[in-house]
Amino acid sequence: MKISYNWLKWYVPKAPDANKLAGIFNYHLCEVESLEKKPGGDTIFDLKILPNRAHDLLSHQGVAREIASLLDIEYVDPAPKYKIPASIKASTDKSELKIDIQTSLCRRYMGRIIRRIKVGPSPEWVKKHLESIGQRSINNMVDAANLLMFNTGQPAHVFDLDKLAEEGLIVRQAKTGEQITTLDNKEVGIGVKDIIIADSKNVLGVAGIKGGKIAEVDNKTKNIILEVANFDPVSVRKTAQALNIFTDARKRFENDLSPELAAYAMRELSALIFEMCPEAIFENVVDVYPEKQKEKKLSFSANKISKILGLKVSDKEVEDILKRYNFKYNLVVGAPLGAPTTKFTVVILPMRLDLEIEEDMAEEIGRILGYDKLKGKIPKINFEPKVNETYAKISWAKGKLLEEGYSEVMTYTFCDTGEVEVQNSASDKKFLRTNLTDGLKESLKLNQLNAPSLGIDKVKVFEIGTIFKKRGEEMHVAYGDKKEIKEMTLDEYARLDLLQAREKNSPAFALGGIGQGTHGSLNFSLQPSHFKMWSLFPFIVRDIAVFVPEKIKSSEVEKIIGKNMGDKVVHGPELFDEFKKGNQISYAFRLVFQSYNCTLTDAEVNEIMTKITNKIKENNDWQVR
């Protein structure tokens, strides 16, 4: 959110200089992402307002009120200075503006007809304010709505009254197939769950997000309708995401706004337009407010706040903060000020939607006092950590199987058959597995294909995971090779090993108890192990066969290959075939190329193979097949 320092000074004339104010923001309110000095003495803050305060701080007035309360300096309320036009009823030949709300997702809708306005350039001070925060001036009516939003945080919209089918607005869900051309000339298809503003014939705008071209204000506009409304934040967010539209109005509505802000905003917007168009006729405000925002109260004690913060906070400090922030409060009857039982009951300001529980108030008080006052202190607690028995068994089982030469795999939990069906799943994986064996078999097949290339004589794998049956979940262990796979519960595996240890009178068999790193009497501690990461890049396999005189041993050929193959060979040379033909013998070797840094190309491997071939050919009577 971009905030103009000069704009803030309208409301807090005693604010400190911009650099000092930036430090105050950083330590007590939010992060200042950038600070830009402008010609003419203005400074623009780019404040990183977090979602929990977006409802009141995405505005100049909101930030100004926060500064005034935080520093205990004067806040100049502009409302008494507004020149409010005298409202009149609609003329006898015109009915009052009709607003028809057909959805609970519109929490308040205020509308006002203004006649005989004159569209033109905005006053210089309006242009200056908008341009200071990077906004382009369009015309006085649109600028008034934009200025209102950046000043109060409440979005507003202006419709050309004469372009409507009748003098009435409808707030409803979109119908199938409805579209809108937005103000930036984009054709947008609207979903049936999206909320729109319409008349009896056309879609005029997407609620809380963007207006449409049909009722756009232009230089010929003479009569307008002001819209100041409040919409459900979740609805606005979902619609904007679906339509891929990001606007300043969306940003404010999706973070929630108090419906109480609308009345203040309508008053300010009316005063602003009256200043620009003093000959205009303002009709009565039509306010549809189905369910008013409920008053919230919050009770807490200074003692509880102190415990939450880890900082001693006195009743006097709490009272001082409540007064500075204009909270109405009282003390619980029978609890004199200063007594340990003193309890504050606070009426939460309508704009402060973030204050719900005691912890929120603790955060608020801690922020105002300054978190730099919190001193790190490690509590003195004597306790013994509780061992997670299941985790200890899993860790022990993994360590044991790894020591026995098994490699761990993780297979799919979802499968095509089972006892527990998943409601939302892939079409061919609708069930949760009832065993680990099926997945382990598939894993063995895949790993067996690469075993010869990687120099593995025997593939042995294991998995420890959850299986799902109607009676409930079970933790299983499965392990084996191509010939046999064994599967059992984790407890059965631990008991089996315990029996084997007893039979062998193993040193692992010792006195102990469950929950202290043992199972029965078997210690679950793991021995330190060393792990070497494998390459994540694909390997390339090449074979080379050489005819040599029968007196030549394979090791001589292997030595030449080894000296010339470089560091890209991760396995080999491995002799995998030999046969005699006449007085010659053929040796066939396999090389596996792989890099830890990149994917090898055929050209790189071919270059190495050519080098090996040339070296072999330097020997008389040696021939590469």
The Cα–Cα gap between 288 and 99 comes to: 7
The Cα–Cα gap between 604 and 591 comes to: 14
Kind and range of the H or E run holding 99: strand 98-101
Residue 302: how many other CB atoms lie within 10 Å: 21
Give DSSP secondary structure letters for 411-427. --SEESS-SEE-SS--T
What confidence tens digit (pLDDT) does each residue in 73-93 have? 999 999 888 887 677 765 544
Residue 179: how many other CB atoms lie within 10 Å: 11
Can you give the pTM of this predicted structure?
A: 0.64
The Cα–Cα gap between 577 and 588 comes to: 5
Residue 301: how many other CB atoms lie within 10 Å: 20
The Cα–Cα gap between 587 and 624 comes to: 10
Q: For 174-280, where are the alpha helices, taking DSSP H only?
A: 233-243, 248-254, 261-276
Amino acid 94: pLDDT: 58
572: left (phi over 0), alpha (psi -120 to 50) or beta: left
Helix (H, G, I), strand (E, B) or coil at 97: coil
Beta 168-173 vs 98-101: how paired, if at all?
A: parallel
Q: How far apart are the first and last CA of the chain?
A: 73
Residue 427: how many other CB atoms lie within 10 Å: 6
Does residue 115 contact residue 283 with C-beta atoms inside 8 Å?
yes
Instruction: Please give the angle made by the CA atoms of 615, 617 and 624, to the nearest 5 degrees.
Output: 110
- Cα–chain center distance at 584: 70
Q: Which domains does the chain have, with CATH numbers?
A: 2-76 (3.30.56.10), 87-288 (3.50.40.10), 296-373 (3.30.56.10), 389-513 (3.30.930.10), 540-624 (3.30.70.380)
Instruction: Please give the angle made by the CA atoms of 332, 66 and 32, to the nearest 5 degrees.
Output: 135
The backbone torsions φ and ψ at residue 473, rounded to the nearest 5 degrees and listed phi first, read -90, 150
The per-type count for the chain, helices as H runs and strands as E runs, is 17, 31
Q: What residue ranges in 407-497 does DSSP mark as E strands?
A: 407-408, 414-415, 420-421, 431-432, 461-469, 472-480, 485-489
* Angle between helical axes of 140-152 and 261-276 (0-180°, round to 10): 140
Amino acid 428: pLDDT: 79
User: Rg of the Cα trace of the chain?
Assistant: 38
Helix (H, G, I), strand (E, B) or coil at 367: helix
Residue 271: how many other CB atoms lie within 10 Å: 18
Q: What is the DSSP letter of 212?
A: B
What confidence tens digit (pLDDT) does each residue in 405-440 have? 899 999 999 998 999 999 887 777 899 999 999 999
Sheet holding 407-408, edge to edge: 407-408, 461-469, 472-480, 485-489
Residues of the chain with pLDDT under 50: 92-93, 507-522, 526
| Burial of 597 per CB tally in 10 Å (0-12, 13-18, 19+) | exposed
The Cα–Cα gap between 215 and 180 comes to: 11
Does residue 170 contact residue 102 with C-beta atoms inside 8 Å?
yes
